[in-house]
Amino acid sequence: MNSPLLERVQFLRAFVMHPRQVGAVLPTSQRAVSDMLALAPLEAATLVVELGAGTGSHTQAVLDRLGPQARLIAFEIDPALAQVLRAKVSDPRLQVVAGSAETVVEVLDGARPEVVVSALPFTSLPAGIGKVILQRAAGVLAPGGTLLVLQYSPLIVPELHRLFGSVRRRVCLRNVPPAWLFACTEPKAL
Ligand SMILES: C[S@@+](CC[C@H](N)C(=O)[O-])C[C@H]1O[C@@H](n2cnc3c(N)ncnc32)[C@H](O)[C@@H]1O
């Protein structure tokens, strides 16, 4: 099992290799994770998708809230971080996809998650990719579902309002840097 310090080193290494893809120097704090997850009814979910799982700041916390029959599919584009996650979290409800969240529609193959949890750095991803992923995430949600988004600025707000009828927000100061948390529901038919 990895120590928290080793995980931070692995995360920092990934940031140094791909700064725009990782978008943060530290994993999300457990305070920001719990503030974010409190914005959606995870306990009732049968399928949850995580986008940009990194070293798993959200992963175990999501599993802790899910029922025994529920499933979590976690996407992580960096194979080294996906391997860290697989080694860290051993749970039959978890499927780690070492690939891009752009493939969410194909991977889900018609399954509809009630909650999608994203810590992807939308504003620093290569041009266009963030918008594509957000739109696909909105499109796969089950009726009544929620997309949770963590960002380090409010720059994404107009895009969230373009895609969703309802966008709630809160800010968590106990994170480096402070985290903007959004709960998006009522995806629009575009
Ligand atoms: C800000 S970090 C968040 C990591 C972790 N969820 C956390 O909160 O500490 C963003 C993560 O998204 C991953 N990522 C970036 N682009 C991605 C993509 N297209 N598909 C899946 N993961 C991606 C990065 O490799 C990185 O691990």
Quote the tokens at residue 22.
Answer: 């990782």
CA 125 to CA 21: how far, in whole Å? 6
pLDDT in tens, 61-84: 999 999 999 999 999 999 999 999
Q: Please state, in angstroms and rounded to a whole number, the distance separating the CA atoms of residues 63 and 127.
A: 32
Supply the pLDDT for residue 1. 54
d(CA 187, CA 9): 37
Of all protein residues, the one whose alpha carbon is nearest to atom 15 of ligand 1 is 21
Residues with CB under 6 A from ligand 1: 14, 21-24, 27-28, 51-54, 57-58, 75-78, 81, 100-102, 119-121, 125
Q: Which CATH code of 3.30.56.10, 3.40.50.150, 3.90.1150.10, 3.20.20.70 fits the domain covering 4-187?
A: 3.40.50.150
Q: Whose CA is nearest to atom 13 of ligand 1?
A: 52
Ligand 1 atom 5, closest CA: 54
For the stretch 150-160, pLDDT in tens is 999 999 999 99
Whole-model pTM over 0.75: yes
For the chain, domain boundaries = 4-187
